[in-house]
Amino acid sequence: MDGFLLIDKPAGITSHDVVDRIRSRFQIRRVGHGGTLDPAATGLLVLFIGKATRQASIFLESDKTYLAVLRLGETTDTQDTQGRLLKKQEIPSLTRDKIETVFSRFRGEIEQEVPAYSAVRIQGKRSYALARAGLPVPRSVRRVIVYDLAVLNVRLPEIEFEVTCSKGTYIRALCAAFGEAFGCGGHLASLRRTRIGSLSIDQAVSLDEVAPHHVIPITQVDRRVQDVKAIRIPERARFLSPSTSSGRTRAKESEGRRLAQADSQGPTSGPEDPAPEGNFP
């Protein structure tokens, strides 16, 4: 069996748990996934079966779209709901215009500090293992691209937003940065991935319903990969001015890049930790 599956991952299990369930249900060992969703997150997870695992790195480098909820007034050590509450602060009076103004600062190419509770390796050890042990975690900064960022609903203390971003973007770090910008702290309350490259959550099936006939044949994998390559993350991007009606910024791509990377699994809600997991050739 060679091909790929589009799974709507439920909350409460790891991406690797999904891989294990498919291995068991389909009685096949060679299964991997193309981009981690951590336990609390839901949404689109692409699984590769058999020879299709060779295409995984293409999907790992693709831009991704998320629906997220920011909760203001509370700062946690993991930048999401899974961590320890560090501080509670009063939320200032915020108008929709003020919120839009703050969000506009985070469109385009930005720097993010990699969360201490992430699966990146530091001298052979996971960053989250160091953090849990109370050991110092060296500060690491990466550059990412936020192509599109839109405020959807405001019901303080929560703000629902949609973001399309490059590989390696930590949505919880983005939420923590929003909280700092508003002067009251904040963390990621919920996260759902709705798109990877040209693949949409609308095409996915639930883990309970998935069956062998849902496997997309490898002949179609190659075609889908070409679709993903067509919208590959650029090395350099020119950003259009945000639309006054939608408040969104679109990235116009200029040149692509390839990144060979295995999938990953982190202990908290950070979807792009570059640590190996799964079973790739």
pLDDT for residue 119: 72
Q: Are 18 and 35 within 8 A, CB to CB?
A: no
- Of 2, 20, 38, 273, which residue is the catalytic one? 38
Cα separation values, 219 from 1, 6, 7, 19, 198, Å: 12, 16, 19, 22, 17
Amino acid at 193: R
Instruction: Select from 78, 93, 60, 188 the least CA-distant residue to 128.
Output: 78
pLDDT tens digits, 237-250:
444 434 333 444 33
Give the mean pLDDT of 87-115.
95
pLDDT for residue 221: 55
pLDDT tens digits, 133-165:
777 777 788 899 999 999 999 999 999 999 999
Q: Of 80-89, 130-139, 212-221, give the lowest mean pLDDT range.
A: 130-139
Identify the band that residue 228 occupies on the pLDDT scale cut at 50, 70 and 90.
low
**What DSSP character marks residue 91?**
P
pLDDT for residue 41: 95
Distance CA 125, CA 58 (A): 26
Of 136 and 4, the structure prediction assigns the larger pLDDT to: 4
pLDDT for residue 240: 41
Distance CA 57, CA 71 (A): 33
Of 60 and 276, the structure prediction assigns the larger pLDDT to: 60
Distance CA 35, CA 197 (A): 11
pLDDT for residue 4: 86
Identify the band that residue 225 occupies on the pLDDT scale cut at 50, 70 and 90.
low
Tokens at 157, concatenated: 């203390």
Q: Domain spanning 64-193 has what CATH number?
A: 3.30.2350.10
46 pLDDT more than 80: yes
Instruction: Select from 52, 56, 46 the least CA-distant residue to 3.
Output: 52
229 pLDDT more than 90: no
CA of residue 162 relative to chain centroid, distance: 12
What is the three-state SS of 8-28?
EECCCCCHHHHHHHHHHHHCC
209 pLDDT more than 90: yes
Q: What is the mean pLDDT of the chain?
A: 79
**What DSSP character marks residue 216?**
E
Of 277 and 272, the structure prediction assigns the larger pLDDT to: 272
Q: Is 97 a catalytic residue?
A: no
Identify the band that residue 223 occupies on the pLDDT scale cut at 50, 70 and 90.
low
Q: Where are the domains of the chain?
A: 64-193
